[in-house]
């Protein structure tokens, strides 16, 4: 497996793990307000990121998650803009991840 494929696989694993930790993102969840559960969820994510980046800290994980969200919103905007442009279905923008 190439480095690019490994990085992509690792990113997808991290995103999937993040989705399974609603204490970090689901505002209406009771766990979201529970600091202990949030700390435990961050510990799980930190452990995952340290598999590839041994010196990652909580702040690094927060920055990485934030960048994932930013990139998601940018990709979503590109898709929506291409749909609104009136281009044919074969010319619609397709995100890479």
- Sketch the domain layout of the chain as residue ranges: 3-91
Task: Tell me the average pLDDT across 18-29.
Answer: 94
Measured distance CA(95)–CA(8) in Å, rounded:
13
Q: Is residue 90 scored above 90 in pLDDT?
A: no
Are 29 and 22 a contacting pair, CB within 8 Å? yes
Give how far the C-alpha of residue 1 lies from the chain's centroid of Cα atoms, to the nearest Å. Answer: 22
The C-alpha atoms of residue 69 and residue 84 are separated, in whole angstroms, by 22
Q: Which of 5, 96, 10 is nearest to 49 (CA)?
A: 10
Percent of the chain with pLDDT over 90: 71
Q: Is the pLDDT of residue 87 over 70?
A: no
Within its chain, how far is the Cα of 6 from the centroid?
Answer: 16
- What mean pLDDT do residues 13-35 have? 94
């Amino acid at each position: 497996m190439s480095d690019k494929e490994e990085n992509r696989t690792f990113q997808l694993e991290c995103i999937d793990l993040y989705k399974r930790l609603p204490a970090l993102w689901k505002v209406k969840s009771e766990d979201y307000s529970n600091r202990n559960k949030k700390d435990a969820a961050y510990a799980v994510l930190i452990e995952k990121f340290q598999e590839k980046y041994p010196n990652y800290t909580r702040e690094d994980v927060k920055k990485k998650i934030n960048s994932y969200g930013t990139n998601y919103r940018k990709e979503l905007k590109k898709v929506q803009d291409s749909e609104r442009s009136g281009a044919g279905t074969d010319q619609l923008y397709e995100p890479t991840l």
